[in-house]
Structure 1
Amino acid sequence: MSSNQFKNEPVAIVGIACRFSGSATSPESLWEMLSKGSTGWTKTASHRFNLNAFLHPKGDNKGTFNAKGFHLLKQDPAVFDNDFFGISGLEAKAMDPQQRILLEVAYEAFESAGHSMEQLKGSQTGVWCSVSNADYESILARDPDASPGYRMTGAGNAILSNRISYFFDLRGPSMTVDTFCSSTLVGLDAAVKSIRAGVVKQALVGGSNLCLDPERTAVLSSMS
């Protein structure tokens, strides 16, 4: 096909998967939550950390925040079936939960699209993932004695997309995009252009934003 034909080629979204706060653990449950007008916001965060220890009415007070609740995932970020993805327990411990969950969501998205592992293996499939937050690295760095051996790859943002490409044996471009709030949209734009240029036959586009450290929330709170 000529370059002009590629430009006019329609691009279809054939599979989708997600993890959002509250009961929105899939596209179907997200729709159900929105259609009922419910929310994933909660002020019960005791199973994650002591909310009252950081709560202060003045948002710019150092080391505290004035948020009285959060949008928390129903899924425990620490739970991960590393054996399924062929990852050792030692390496999994060092992995940012954003990497773990995106692997799970990528598998579900391909499943939604009707693509088997065998079909994907060696295919010209590109991966564009977006991430801006990286506080898991800060958490791991606090105690050098407890720092896991695979911290460099486990907490490296670039690995977010690369790990997906590696596990599914995808041969297209694999890159992590960080343009802050517009990251996933920029990744989607790059993926569509790559498909229309004939660089890849298909692409996976994903994004993750987990705030795991209360300190990061305190910084955001100080900015109002």
Structure 2
Amino acid sequence: MTVTFDQDTWSFQLSNSSTVERLTGQGRPDTLLNYSSIGDFMRLLADDENDLFARLHGPIIDRISKSPIVAAWKAKRAHLKDLKHFPQYRRRAFDLYHDAARAVAAGTADEKQLALVEGLAGEIAQSQIIIPAGQILFHGRADWLLAAQRPYPTFVSTSLHPVVARNRAFARTGIDMKNGKPLVCVLELKAPLPAMWGHVGKSQEYELLLTRNLTFKEVDRYAGTKFEVAHLDVTS
């Protein structure tokens, strides 16, 4: 039986008191958060008027880092020193790879662009990390192209951390949201897919890079007060 990292059961206890307040009996009740579905939890974040996302960031990292399933994926990661294209992609050359992938899809790529796309796609295909069907991943952006373009022509950077995706969505909107409104995509894999592990050093990204030419089908949508949420099924 293939086991996924559970993204449906969310339970957090957030302290509202300092150590001194607790020791002197002046502590306030903790905030308890319990959700049994990713949809309910994402609606919390999408309507977050009290900036709970900032308080949840650390506890979610703790949850991910303690998972034996995630630890097993990390153990299978390819080391950056042994790769050529993924380190370049991570070192802010991602736009070059995305532009090249779109050019390949349009039939306008030159030899250099073709080499970039084939190189990164090849490294992903050879990854020992296989994300199982049923796994939930998160992706933040500022447009609806992921579901509109079938198949999606370029690579997709995802995260195990919903707040990371939320922050990425806001970053991609640009100043005064000139690039669009923040959108967090909740992705459910319908087939096993190889992925590149991008969480290194003190990174808090928990990135899993998926290959190009995947198909994303929208199954649900929620318009929150802070950002929109799209639930998408992912097939190869």
Please report the TM-score for the alignment, with normalisation by the length of structure 2: 0.24
Q: Which structure shows the bigger proportion of residues in strand conformation?
A: 2
Give the structure, 1 or 2, with the largest relative contact order (CA under 8 Å, sep 6 or more).
Answer: 1
Please report the TM-score for the alignment, with normalisation by the length of structure 1: 0.25
